[in-house]
Structure 1
Amino acid sequence: MAAVVPQCHKAFHIRIARESDIPLLAAVERSAAHLFHTVDLGHLADGPTMSPLTLSSMQSLGHLWIAVDDSDIPVGFLCGNGVDDIYFHIAEVSVAKDFQGMGVGRKLIDSMIDAVRTQHWKAVTLTTYKHLRWNGPWYAKQGFHEVGGQELGKEHAVILETEAQHGHDMNQRCVMIREL
């Protein structure tokens, strides 16, 4: 008989971020990025985190959701903004290493979808690595599918150009969309 290994389930809940949460999100992003070291993309993990000013801007619009533990400490976040006037674009999803694989990312996506569905957005978009199991395949399980970024509008094209300038391999990147 095989031994049963108990899986640790840590408690968390999702809420809209407060300005006081923003200084804590860089640590979440760094912790989440550890996975990139496992696939020879360590330069991404060691690069800059999201700007606090960018996060503050998204937070002021109500476009920054966070997962917090029982002590109300952020363990994950999702943020985004409007792109090409009709899409809500996810700029970042990060889940701290100790909370990965526990449904935090899925709950962040669900909370964001519930919120933006009531607004004027046609669909939700994101850019990601298509070959990494925790990127493209994971987003596909959340209802996203790949689409040509140039088809969506010039702001998406600018996002892809900016990612290329920051060292992302555009042969491995894709734009994904989920209609609302």
Structure 2
Amino acid sequence: MLKTFVRQARADDLEILEAIENEADALFVSVFSIAGWRPAPSYAKPSQENGFILVASDTLGSDAIGFAHVLEVPGGGHLEQLSVRPSAARRGHGRALVEAVKSESRLRGYERVTLRTFAHVPWNAPFYLSCGFIERDPDSDFLRDLLLAEQQQGLGYGRRVQMNFDLTDGCIDSRFG
């Protein structure tokens, strides 16, 4: 496994995030045989919302090859998006981003990190399970509203699950900061 460098996103990173997400989403198109998958949003607006965006690279100072976008929500952080370029997949970059999300979330005083993901896609729920997340029912207005929004947007390609990581229990790798 290669070394991964994770840092806070800067303004000059934002344009590349859309391209990274579109490349990663192409894998879903092939898994679910989807026609008309919507392209990723611009990250200019999300970068101004409460929360944070982390980027990963394989060498210090190089362009991002992956990112994690976390929204600040009541009770913690919500991992809205995690994407790694397929050409850089399976090298530990996604796991490094997840660990950095946990560390940064703890530093911000969050009690937990939540996410919504596909249950049976190997790089989704099974991956997050291996990172310590557990499946839970949506237990806040934000998470219940998110479930409704997914249904309205037609994300019925496969079963989606709610997953949580409790930041008040267990130790977190604190090398990121």
TM-score normalised by the shorter chain: which range applies? 0.7 to 0.9
Structure 1 position 79, deviation (Å): 0.7
SS state of the match for residue 163, structure 2? strand
Name the count of aligned residue pairs. 166
> Residues 41, 136 of structure 1: CA spacing in aligned structure 2 closer, same or farther, 3 A cutoff?
farther
* Structure of higher CA gyration radius: 1
Change (3 A) 1:132 1:169: same
Between the aligned residues of both structures, percent identity stands at 28
For residue 134 of structure 1, what is the aligned residue in structure 2? 123
For structure 1, the 5+ residue unaligned runs are 1-8
Report the CA distance between 1:165 and its aligned residue: 2.0
Aligned position for 1:14: 6
Residue equivalent to 1:92: 81
The answer to whether 1:36 aligns with 2:53 is no
Output the CA distance in 2 between the equivalents of 1:80 and 1:41: 28
Q: CA deviation at 1:48?
A: 2.5
Q: Which structure 2 residues correspond to residues 118-157 of structure 1 after superposition, within 5 A?
A: 118-149=107-138, 152-157=139-144
Q: Which runs of 5+ in 2 are unaligned?
A: 168-177
Which residue of the other structure, out of 2, 19, 33, is the alignment partner of 1:27? 19
Choose from 140, 145, 148 the match for 1:158. 145
- Contact 1:86 1:120 (8 Å CA) reproduced: no
Does the CA contact (< 8 Å) of 2:5 and 2:56 recur in 1? yes
3-state DSSP of counterpart to 1:51: coil
Structure-2 separation of matches of 1:54 and 1:160? 22
Q: Normalising by the residue count of structure 1, what TM-score does the alignment of the two structures yield? A: 0.84
Provide the rounded CA distance (Å) in 2 between the counterparts of 1:57 and 1:160. 24
Residue by residue over 1:9-51, the C-alpha shift from the partner in whole angstroms, topping out at 9 and shown as x without a partner, is: 666411110011101111100111121123225347x313133
Instruction: Determine the C-alpha separation between the residues in 2 that align with 1:16 and 1:141.
Output: 24
* Cα separation, 2, equivalents of 1:146 and 1:62: 23
Matches within 5 A, 1:58-137: 58=49, 63-70=52-59, 72-83=62-73, 85-137=74-126
2:159 paired residue number: 172
Partners of 1:91 and 1:113 in 2: CA distance? 13
- What letter is aligned with 2:163? M
Amino acid at match of 2:87: D
